[in-house]
Amino acid sequence: MLEVSRLSIGFRRPRGLWRREVVPALRDVSLRVRAGEVLAVIGASGAGKSLLAQAILGLLPPNAAMSGEMRFQGAPLDAPRLRGRRVALVPQSIAWLDPLVRAGRQVEWAAGRAGLPAPDRAPAAAAALARFGLGMAAARRFPHQLSGGMARRAMLAIAALGEAELLIADEPTNGLDPENAARVLGHLRARADAGRGVLVISHDLAAVLPLADRVAILREGALQETAPAAAFQGNGMALASPYARALWQALPEVGFLPAEAG
Amino acid sequence: MLVAQDLHHGGLLAGLSLALPPGQVVGLAGPSGAGKSTLGRLLAGHLAPARGTVRLDGAPLPAHGFCPVQLLPQAAELAVNPRWRVGRILEEAYTPGPAARRAFGIEDSWLRRYPHELSGGELQRVVILRSLAPGLRYLVADEISAMLDPLAQAALWHRLREYMAGQGLGILAISHNTALLRRLGRVVWRLEDGRLHHAAPEAAAGKIASLCAEVA
């Protein structure tokens, strides 16, 4: 469905008075998301996870320099035409919602982008919100009046309405209690089971392991390995890279070890 | 010993009592909105209880000056003055030496920056070191590692525990992650319906223990 080959991203910035330099942020990253699977991209803050999502959606800042190739359903990825329709993002922060527009109205806009005729948009929006446990009271609120968990679910409802083939979720469990996190992750899994592709970006290895099919480990802009989720078990000997093993062994459920063993 | 007795507050806490011994980590879990953060604020003196008392070694918390019970909030960026540079923030209560800064991985180049120029994890370490002033007896750590990757989380807690063992500090660790709380201390409470309950041990506890043995 989505194929990323040898993607590198750097940021141009001035150096001294005359010269410019490129600060590398993502180096030679290759990965693919298949229909019907959840691929998790895991890494520490600053590893380049969100940059990867921005590149796929064509939302990189203007001073970014990109090389490599991205293909979607066999054709070169045309982000501006696909995003919000065939490729959808569930963003990390409520800053992506319009602060001056009530939540329900923003879900109706999504129904419009999905191609629904005007009279059908309001009922479709209400149904999408109800699927995530949000009623009319929540729909009437402005984004800042929603709790973090409610806002996340409203953004999921927006992404779900589009029936996009590829869903990208950036840190979907941040700030959610286990019950709401399970609800959000359960929905993402259901989307994959319905034949769509799901890319989950997260720092929380323990939370995403139960729903992921494969896990890509990113460190300082470079892909360490892509392992099946089942490889994260026991003492992690099925994992190829020392960093992936260290991440696994640092989990409180496993070893709570603070550093990479030599 | 930090002792809270018969705390009532805003309909959230219904006669809650809790004792924190020095030199130990006590865990606190519970559903969202149960009042975990409110209890933390009461213990650190940020809020006064509607009824009940918080006493440190039998005396009420001081009303002025450095409070020996410090709260580490979830969002470090909301606990600092955005117009102060990191160096000034760090020295608000005392002057941590270069060795202490190194122990918490705080680089000298950060001191001239403003809070928004650090990542959430970096600023978190600044806020933690700021709280470790002489006279500190207890820390209330409210979801301080939820935004960290597993390695950074383990490193932060190992560092804090080392410091705790050296100083006889007591810690109340608030988190949704009960696996983490069980790693940190023997006692894990669950706040629900305004009262504390013993957190039920997970079914997977046996499996986890065997995994640890393999890893070690």
- Residue B93 belongs to a domain: no
Residue B208 falls inside a structural domain: yes
Is A60 in contact with A37 (CB distance < 8 Å)? Answer: no
Confidence of residue A12 (pLDDT cuts 50, 70, 90): confident
Q: Is residue B211 part of a domain?
A: yes
- Alpha-carbon distance A28 to nearest alpha carbon in chain B (angstroms): 23
CB B196 within 8 A of CB B189: yes
pLDDT (tens digit per residue) in B167-200: 899 999 999 889 999 999 989 999 988 888 888 7
Whether B59 maps to a domain, the answer reads: yes
Across the interface, whether the CB atoms of B150 and A43 are under 8 A apart is answered no
Q: What's B201's DSSP letter?
A: P
Alpha carbons B156 and B171: distance in angstroms, whole number: 14
> What distance in Å separates residue B187's CA from the closest CA in chain A?
16
In this structure, what token pair is assigned to residue A240?
């190829």
For residue A241, the one-letter residue type is: S
B48: domain range?
2-75+136-215
Tokens encoding B29: 């879990």
User: Residues of B with CB below 8 A from A248's CB?
Assistant: 150
Amino acid at residue number A126: A
Q: Is the pLDDT of residue B203 over 60?
A: no
Q: Please answer yes or no on whether B32 and A177 come within 8 Å at the CB atom.
A: yes
Domain total for chain B? 1
Q: Nearest residue of B to residue A256 by CA position? A: B154
Letter string b/e over residues B44-67, b meaning 16 or more CB atoms within 10 A of that residue's CB: bbeeebeebebebeeeebeeeeeb
In B, minimum Cα distance to A248 occurs at B150
Partner A contacted by B205 (CB < 8 A)? no
- Supply the DSSP string of B139-160, one letter for each residue: EEEESTTTTS-HHHHHHHHHHH
Q: Which of B15, B20, B27, B24 is nearest to B2 (CA)?
A: B20
Residue B159, in any domain of the structure: yes
Q: Which of residues 171-200 of B touch A (CB under 8 A)?
A: 176-177, 179-180, 182-183
Counts of helices then strands in chain B (DSSP H, E): 7, 10
Chain B 71-100, residues with CB within 8 Å of chain A CB atoms: none
Q: What is the mean pLDDT of residues A89-114?
A: 85
B214, closest residue in chain A (CA to CA): A235
DSSP run (H or E) holding A138: helix A136-139
Helix (H, G, I), strand (E, B) or coil at B109: helix
pLDDT for the residue A244? 93
ipTM of the complex: 0.81
Q: pLDDT, tens digit, for every residue of B73-126?
A: 888 888 899 999 999 999 999 999 999 899 888 999 899 988 888 877 788 899
Predicted confidence band of residue B201 (pLDDT cuts 50, 70, 90): low
Please report whether residue B104 resides in a domain.
Answer: no
Q: How confident is the model at residue A262 (pLDDT cuts 50, 70, 90)?
A: very low
| d(C-alpha A11, C-alpha A78), whole Å | 22
- Which tokens hold the place of B60? 């009420």
Return the CATH number at B182: 3.40.50.300
B85: in domain: no
Q: Do A253 and B152 touch (CB under 8 A)?
A: no
Contact B175, B14 (CB under 8 A): no
pLDDT confidence tier of residue B202, bands split at 50, 70 and 90? low
- Angle of helix A148-161 relative to helix A118-131, nearest 10 degrees? 130
Q: What is the mean pLDDT of residues A172-196?
A: 85
The answer to the question of residue B84 being in a domain is no
* Closest CA of chain A from B161, distance in Å: 12
